[in-house]
Structure 1
Amino acid sequence: MIVVKAGGGEGLDMEAVCADLAEQVAQGEQVVLVHGGSHETNVISEKLGHPPRFVTSASGHVSRYTDRETLEIFAMVAAGRINKLLVERLQQLGVNAFGLSGLDGRLLEGKRKSMLRIVENGRRKVLRGEYSGKIERVNVGLLEVLLAAGYVPVVAPLAISYESEALNVDGDRAAAAIGSALKAQTLIILSNVPGLLRDFPDDSTLITRIPLEQAQEHLDRYAQGRMKKKLLGAIEALHDGVGQVVIADGRVAQPLRRALDGQGTVIQ
């Protein structure tokens, strides 16, 4: 069982991801694909006159401020265009892909974070009207039914609150939650860098192996920007039953095969 997160940033070769995923499925591997949508959401938001706003928490994590209008744009882009075009391409490659979001069948459920505590220009602030959350439950039975029937779930990173509100959730941590629920052997997190870099953006400083007990230290010392969430998701997944996590380059040919061969940052 492999869970793959293909990031929503610029530069990923999604054609290569789909082709390699199809190869894994042809070899009998069960795969779940979780995708992002941040870059395309940014582009569409700008065109619609509602530009994205990114904020930094007190702990240094960067995230999108998701008001209701932003949530609706994100749902349109991620659960709509991106999800369905990925399903289309996988079907063309012979994969019986099944597109859904974490809203559907309450696949991903959690508590809404209605406000954000942020640091802006050196000052602490509170932003209200937020529609994001942290995943607390995974409807693993739904995934198991789809997998047993031969489908490949393709999951957009939206969730549902306990009050049945749509939520924007972090794609890396969504993949980690799904991997944990399925007790996946491997969680592959693809990005537009080769893995965790000791001296970003110098690719030659790639850290190839991290024991789980040192992962938090590496997060604090080396992770920058979005890499913080990737390492955080990796730590959560490993603590909750995933065998190994590989943060790998999604810009290359055969990205899944390379990740499974240990090319990237392997955490276990």
Structure 2
Amino acid sequence: MIKVGGSLGADMSRACADIRALVDRGDSVVVVHGGGAEADRLADELGRPKRYLTASGGRRSRYTDAAALDVLVLGMLGRLKPPLVTELLRLGVRAVGLSGADGGMVTARRTPPANVVVDGVRRVVRDDLSGRISAVDAHLPRTLLAAGYVPVISPPAYDPEADPESGAGLLNVDADRFAARLAVALEADWLVILSNVPGLLRDPGDPGSLVTEIPCEDLAGYLDLAGGRMKVKLRTAGEACLAGVPHVVLGDGRGPSPVLAARAGAGTTLVKGVP
């Protein structure tokens, strides 16, 4: 399982060459991607302001009302996924683009109304179309893998409890958690999460301060080192490690061979059962 961050942009092609190498040697590969950065660029083009929610604990997240969900879905499925799939096809990889909603693969439960801060004003938000993953059905990706395809999957997820009269049914879910839950459901040997940083750094301004190994049972001791998205990635990586994925790595997607480098020990590796 390889998760490529949407913030990598053109650097995603570097991971594609590694995917080809893994497929050539007989490995089964699933690719997951996000798309928040592309959705932000698209929102700017369309003149739709990006909005965020700040919960009482200080956690900041994307405000995904119906208009924002449209932009997010278009950014991931219409802007980011096609170039990723076609680059893999160009390299001879039989890639198939999917979303979590296809075949009911990833289902989620909508986030309940919450008292949060939006645009500097505290209010109760009831129209946020984001959610938490509730179940993963791995039948579709397993079928594609058995037939020699490489699934390229992204959010959104499917909401089976959506009101059919509202026109809803899709939910924005975190792409890192999406990848981790899929990795667990598929009993993956590896989960490599690539982003635009070397891994967890003790000092964000110093690449030489990389934390190379973290016992997943002691994850709480490292979360204070992480900020923003890295905290989510680290927590997600730890959950996947504890759930049974043997090899979990937070790697740098900007290098010349990022997937193979992560598998060879570059980045931050989560380990289980270390005293």
Question: If the TM-score is normalised by the length of the shorter chain, which range does it land in?
Answer: over 0.9
1:16 aligns with 2:19: no
4+ aligned runs moved over 4 Å, structure 1: 119-125
> How is 1:1-268 mapped onto 2 (pairs within 5 angstroms)?
3-10=1-8, 13-118=11-116, 125-164=123-162, 165-219=169-223, 221-268=224-271
Aligned residues: 265
Q: What letter corresponds to residue 183 of structure 2 in structure 1? A: G
Per-residue Cα deviation, 1:58-96 (whole angstroms, up to 9, x for no partner): 444432110100101111110122112211110010100
- What is the rounded CA distance, in whole Å, between the counterparts of 1:202 and 1:21 in structure 2? 29
More strand by share: 1
- What is the rounded CA distance, in whole Å, between the counterparts of 1:96 and 1:184 in structure 2? 19
Q: Does the residue aligned with 1:9 lie in a helix, a strand or coil?
A: helix
Instruction: Please tell me whether the aligned partners of residues 51 and 119 of structure 2 are also in contact (alpha carbons under 8 angstroms).
Output: no
Instruction: Please tell me whether the aligned partners of residues 55 and 62 of structure 1 are also in contact (alpha carbons under 8 angstroms).
Output: yes
* Aligned-residue offset at 1:205: 1.0
Q: Which deviates more, 226-235 or 118-127?
A: 118-127
Q: Does the residue aligned with 1:16 lie in a helix, a strand or coil?
A: helix
Q: Does the residue aligned with 2:30 lie in a helix, a strand or coil?
A: strand
Cα 1:117–1:107, aligned 2, differ >3 Å: closer, same or farther? Answer: farther
- What is the rounded CA distance, in whole Å, between the counterparts of 2:197 and 2:42 in structure 1? 24
- What is the rounded CA distance, in whole Å, between the counterparts of 1:95 and 1:81 in structure 2? 20
- What is the rounded CA distance, in whole Å, between the counterparts of 1:136 and 1:117 in structure 2? 23
Per-residue Cα deviation, 1:133-169 (whole angstroms, up to 9, x for no partner): 1111111111111110111000022101122510111
- What is the rounded CA distance, in whole Å, between the counterparts of 2:263 and 2:59 in structure 1? 28
* Aligned-residue offset at 1:111: 0.3
Instruction: Please tell me whether the aligned partners of residues 17 and 254 of structure 1 are also in contact (alpha carbons under 8 angstroms).
Output: yes
* Aligned-residue offset at 1:216: 2.2
TM-score (normalised: structure 2): 0.91
- What is the rounded CA distance, in whole Å, between the counterparts of 1:118 and 1:34 in structure 2? 30
- What is the rounded CA distance, in whole Å, between the counterparts of 1:235 and 1:106 in structure 2? 26
Cα 1:235–1:72, aligned 2, differ >3 Å: closer, same or farther? Answer: same
Q: Which deviates more, 230-239 or 242-251?
A: 230-239
Instruction: Please tell me whether the aligned partners of residues 39 and 75 of structure 2 are also in contact (alpha carbons under 8 angstroms).
Output: yes
TM-score (normalised: structure 1): 0.93
- What is the rounded CA distance, in whole Å, between the counterparts of 2:222 and 2:184 in structure 1? 22
* Aligned-residue offset at 1:235: 1.9
Q: Which residue of 1 is the match for residue 166 of structure 2?
A: none
Structure 2 gaps, min length 5: 163-168
RMSD of Structure 2 on Structure 1 (CA): 1.8
Q: Which deviates more, 165-174 or 233-242?
A: 233-242
Q: Which has the larger radius of gyration?
A: 2
